[in-house]
Amino acid sequence: MKPLVARSWESDYLADPPPYQRHRQVLFSPKIQGVNSASIGTVTIPPTGKSDVHMHERTDEFWIVTRGHGKLIVDGGKADIEAGSVAYAPAGSQHQTINTGKETLHAYWILVPPGPEEAILRMMGKL
């Protein structure tokens, strides 16, 4: 089998408008490549930006932060995140990511099992 490779610089992204300004990409999804165990994508959040507070009912979410500084809020608990951090929000938890730094926050997200990324793909017109 040939390895599957996704390059973020070759992939389309969804630009969310304020107040939850961010860019999101789906790099791997069962709906794109048939990878069934997880979905993987990226999120970039500009300084002072944030995601909406949301929940994935049956899906755990992990983030691997590659650039910037921020705060992750999970069910009211807060943790600082920065480049080199790996963070986790369990299925059913309310969570939000906030950029608290002076540069854009960059992270990869991983959803296990996949499913919630389909909303992004629908908004992008890919489903």
Predicted confidence (pLDDT) per residue in 33-86, tens digit? 989 999 999 999 999 999 999 999 999 999 999 999 999 999 999 999 999 999
Distance CA 66, CA 57 (A): 26
Name residue 52's beta-bridge partners: none
Give per-residue pLDDT as tens, 77-119.
999 999 999 999 999 999 999 999 999 999 999 999 999 999 9
pTM: 0.94
Query: Is the model's pLDDT at 12 over the cut of 90?
Result: yes
Structure tokens of 95? 């969570």
Could you tell me the maximum CA-CA distance found in the chain, to the nearest angstrom?
A: 44
Distance CA 52, CA 75 (A): 13
pLDDT of residue 1: 81
Domains annotated on the chain, with CATH: 14-123 (2.60.120.10)
